[in-house]
């Protein structure tokens, strides 16, 4: 069974095309994700994404984190899914893709070779009701609420983008100990389904720097839903205007949000390499 390694701004996943290899859908996908994601004993990735047929859409994203947990949505992953569907199956400038967070519309800018080069995703409207995020932080939206994590007290903004996010602003994000406070925020009692933690530095009203600790994966080089949450939080707190450029460890994303509408995220989607999974992984992941 073949796979392709892809990344969006350094947020890397192993992708299996179930249009071509439908047998992958019969496997234990959480177990397979753990096997392929290990960066020493596997392929190395932030998780596994299966690109599957869907009768109501042009394709569907089934996404699993590196620890095998299911994730509802990933903007960087969805751009790569869009590239696979566009380049291999449906050559249209606009696609409808099903995710764990519902139907998403993507716009494709093709390069001279006709292949997808730049992808814009309508990430949907931010979820601002605490019960739906979910979080026990107060406020609707829960903006800059006190959050005690270890020996620090942060001002946290909780936002849902189909998955839960906690945005925290710091003075110097590149020197900030994300590996220390990321797990504390991820597993904080205020977030009953755990949370993705975004640590953000404001450079100007149009430019931000972001580091992300993703639930189930640790620090990743980019996070599209996280960048969308950061864009919305920055508008809500008055730190930026509606259009921002966000620098992440793996590259840059462009985002736009006006309250009452969906967040628009634009960035690339890159192939890294292709390969074939060892038969022992498939045997270990066979459903019992």
For 15-79, give the DSSP string. Answer: EEETTT-GGGGGB-HHHHHHHHH-TTTSS--SEEEEEE--TTSSEEEEEEETTS-EES--HHHHH
- How far, rounded to the nearest angstrom, does the alpha carbon of residue 90 sit from its chain's CA centroid? 23
Radius of gyration of the chain (CA): 18
Of 22, 49, 51, 25, which Cα lies nearest the Cα of 37?
49
Residue 76 and residue 224 in contact, taking contact as beta carbons nearer than 8 Å: yes
Cis, peptide link before residue 134, omega less than 30° from 0: yes
Q: How far apart are CA 126 and CA 66, in angstroms?
A: 25
The position carrying tokens 């931000």 is 208
The token pair at 263 is 């967040």
Residue positions annotated with a catalytic role: 74, 223
- How far, rounded to the nearest angstrom, does the alpha carbon of residue 130 sit from its chain's CA centroid? 20
The token pair at 204 is 């100007």
Q: How far apart are CA 101 and CA 162, in angstroms?
A: 5
Distances (CA, A) of 56 to 99, 162, 228: 12, 19, 25
The token pair at 135 is 């979080």
How open is the CA angle 210-212-214, to the nearest 5 degrees?
160
């Amino acid at each position: 069974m073949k796979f392709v390694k892809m990344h969006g701004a350094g947020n890397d996943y192993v992708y299996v095309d179930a249009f071509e290899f439908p047998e992958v859908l019969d496997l234990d996908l959480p177990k397979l994700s753990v096997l392929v994601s290990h960066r020493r004993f596997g392929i190395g990735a932030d998780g596994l994404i299966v690109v599957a047929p869907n009768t109501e859409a042009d394709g569907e994203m089934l996404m699993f984190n590196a620890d095998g947990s299911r994730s509802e949505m990933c903007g960087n992953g969805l751009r790569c899914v869009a590239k696979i569907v566009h380049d291999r199956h449906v050559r249209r400038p606009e696609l409808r893709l099903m995710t764990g967070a519902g139907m998403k519309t993507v716009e494709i800018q093709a390069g001279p070779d006709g292949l997808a080069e730049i992808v814009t995703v309508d990430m949907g409207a931010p979820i601002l009701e605490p019960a739906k995020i979910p979080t026990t932080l107060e406020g609707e939206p829960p903006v800059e609420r006190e959050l005690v994590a270890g020996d620090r007290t942060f001002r946290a903004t909780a936002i849902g983008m189909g998955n839960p996010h906690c945005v925290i602003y710091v003075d110097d994000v590149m020197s900030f100990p994300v590996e220390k406070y990321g797990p504390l925020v991820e597993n904080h009692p205020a977030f009953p389904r755990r949370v993705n933690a975004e640590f953000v530095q404001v450079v100007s009203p149009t430019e931000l720097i972001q580091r992300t600790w993703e639930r189930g994966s640790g620090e990743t080089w980019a996070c599209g839903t996280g960048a969308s949450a950061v864009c919305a939080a920055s508008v809500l707190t008055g730190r930026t205007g509606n259009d921002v450029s966000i620098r992440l460890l793996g590259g840059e994303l462009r985002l736009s949000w006006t309250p009452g509408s969906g967040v628009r995220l634009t960035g690339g989607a890159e192939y890294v390499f292709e390969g074939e999974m060892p038969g022992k992984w498939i045997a270990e992941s066979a459903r019992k």
